[in-house]
Structure formats: structure tokens, C-alpha cells
Amino acid sequence: MKLLVVEDEPSLLQSITEYFEQEFFVVDGAGTYNAAIEKIETVGYACIILDINLPDGSGLQLLQQLRRFKKDDGVIVISARNSVQDKIDGLNLGADDYISKPFHLSELNARVKALIRRKYGHGVNMLQSGNLELDLLSRTATCSNQPLVLTKNEYDLLAFLLNNKNRVVSKQAIAEHIYGDQADNMPSFDFVYSHIKNLKKKLKEKGCDDIVQTVYGLGYKVAV
């Protein structure tokens, strides 16, 4: 699947590209408005990750342009934090989702996957790892076909980890994923640890041991 990243900061562009290449996407990068327009005109992308602030134009203009070309590529807008207006404008112009800067790549990854599932999913609303299965539509989880009873936070956490399969996801990223901007107000992310502990216990009861692994002090990962 093809992905376009429009981001004027080369270093950030490179990070995003590298991250998504590891997820087996074909990633194109564009650092300017004009470079992006050129790419959009010629290639169809599964998802465009679009920074609003570009040196030679606005990401919002690009979004308008895209709709004028009658393209329905999925778009995730990157807006500056606290800029509510950018979010509203972006969504009004047909963006599928938005994410505030600075973001975690794991969060962006989860958003892109969710978008692709929604847009091109063809009913694939299942996340699966080993004998663990999550149905995203009915928000249910099963382990070896046995239903798992999870709290909302535990479910979101598990889905987030499955979306970032084989990747280390930091405590901070998990906290922000579950609580959004509220995470700013948290003194520590120790509660992530207790969520994980409960989750691991529940998984173990149903025979899904070792699906969620702890990676030193860094974070957690779901490994296959």
C-alpha cells in the first residue's frame, strides 16, 4: 500500500518514512506544497499524512486541491497542538482524521491503520495475533475462541498494541492513546503498568500467555 507523507521538516519526514516502511508500506515523502501536489496528481495513495504548515502553502489548500482532483485518498492532518481551528478546518475540508504535533509514531501508525481499515477494510475489522482476536466493530476480544472480559481502557490498550504489532510502544504513547490530551495532566504513567498487569492476568487466564511483553523500562509490545 502506498503512503504519502507531506512534512517540511526533513528529519521528521525521514522518521515517519522509516517507521512506515518497517510496517511494509511504500512511502513517498514530500517536503513542500508543490512537491506534494505533483505527487498527488499522478499517484493514488491509500493514505496521505499531511502537515498543515508548509513553507510554500497550507496543507489545507492541498486538501482542497485533492478534492478538486476528485481523489478520495485518506488524509490524516497533522496540526499544531492546541490549534482547534486547524482541526476543525481540516475535518471540514474532508480530512479523515487529525493528529496533534508532537505525536508518537505508534499513535500515527494506529491512526493510519484504522483509517485504512475503515476506508478499504472490506469488512476486515479484526485484529489478530496468535490465538488472540479483537473484533473492532463489536469491540469484543476472544482468546482461543474464549471471550475475554475487558474494561474500555484495557480494550483500547490491547487494540493499540495489536495495531503496533512487533513494535515497542512506550508508556507515554499508551497513556496518550487512552487518555488523549488528558495525559498532560498525569503525574506519571504508572497506571499504564497496572492496566498492563490486569490485562496480562486476564490473558493468561484464557491461555494467551506472553502475548504482551514488557521491554525493560521502555514499554510494551505484542510479539508474534
Partner 1 sequence: MSKQLLQRTTKILLVWLPLILVVCSLVFYILMRMQAHHMQQKQLLLKQQNVWSAFIAKRGNIERRIACEYEIKESNVSMQPSWNELSDTTLYYAAENKNLPFQLLTKQFSWNGQNFQVTTFVSSTEISHLIIKVFLIEMVILLLLLAAIVFFNKKSSGTLWQPFFATLKKVNAYDITRAQQVLLPENTGTTEFDELNKAVNALVGNVNAAYLHQKQFVENASHEMQTPLAIIRSKLELLINQPDITEKAALLLADITEANDRLSLMNRTLLLLAKIENNQFPDTGQINVSVLLQNVVDNFEQYYENFPQVETDISENVMVNANRSLIEIMVSNLVKNAVEHNIPNGSLLLHLSATRLIIKNTGMPLQTAGEELFERFKKESHQTKTTGLGLALVKQICSLYGYGITYRYESGWHTLTVTFL
135 binds partner 1 (CB under 8 A): no
Which residues are 213's β-sheet partners? 221
- Indicate which single residue of 26, 124, 149, 218 sits in contact with partner 1 (rule: CB under 8 A): 218
124 binds partner 1 (CB under 8 A): no
Per CB under 8 A, which region of 62-70, 122-130, 179-187, 202-210 contacts partner 1?
179-187
- Indicate which single residue of 87, 111, 113, 167 sits in contact with partner 1 (rule: CB under 8 A): 167
Q: How far is the CB of 214 from partner 1 (least distance, A)?
A: 11
Q: What is the pairing mode between strands 219-222 and 2-6?
A: unpaired
Sign of dihedral through CA atoms 21, 126, 96, 185?
negative
What are residue 48's phi and psi, to 5 degrees? -115, 125
| 143 neighbors 166 (Cβ within 8 angstroms) | no
Near partner 1 in 14-53, by CB under 8 A: 15-16, 18-19, 22
C-alpha cell at 107: 499513535
Reduced to 3 states (helix: H, G, I; strand: E, B; else coil), residue 222 is strand
Q: Which is nearer to partner 1, 104 or 200 (CB)?
A: 104
Per CB under 8 A, which region of 91-99, 112-120, 133-141, 209-217 contacts partner 1?
209-217
Rounded CA separation 115/164 (Å): 14
Rounded CA separation 67/223 (Å): 39
Which residues here bind partner 1, judged by CB under 8 A? 9, 11-12, 15-16, 18-19, 22, 80-82, 84, 101-106, 153, 167-168, 170, 172-173, 179, 182, 184-188, 190-191, 194, 215-219
